Amino acid sequence: MVQDGTSRDYDLPPVAPFHNEGKTVAGWVMFWGVCLGAVVVAVGMIMWEMWVLAVGAALLVLALVVSGVLSVMGMGQPRNRENPPQGGEHNWYS
């Protein structure tokens, strides 16, 4: 059998990806919140102070919660609610 280069074993997504590349308010809040929380946790481990570790962990959790709330408020990646993937289809941009 001769391969002419037209055969493929993958499917292209049904629509083009969003042009914002995930750079949304919710994404940036999560990024900087997790960075700040990780730095505070690292300083707490160096100082060996439990309260600093707890503050860092609280910052991490707060960043996740605030980012989730912002995403629900519409400041995150848009969702395709009119045409959700059907059974067996892969949700490319969820």
Q: Over the stretch 42-83, which tens digit does the pLDDT of each residue have? A: 999 999 999 999 999 999 999 999 999 998 888 887 766 666
Q: Which of 75, 87, 59, 82 is nearest to 27 (CA)?
A: 75
| Number of C-beta neighbours around residue 48 at 10 A | 8
pTM of structure: 0.66
d(CA 45, CA 81): 44
- DSSP 3-state of 7: coil
Amino acid (one-letter) located at 3: Q
Residues 26 and 75 sit within 8 Å (Cβ to Cβ): yes
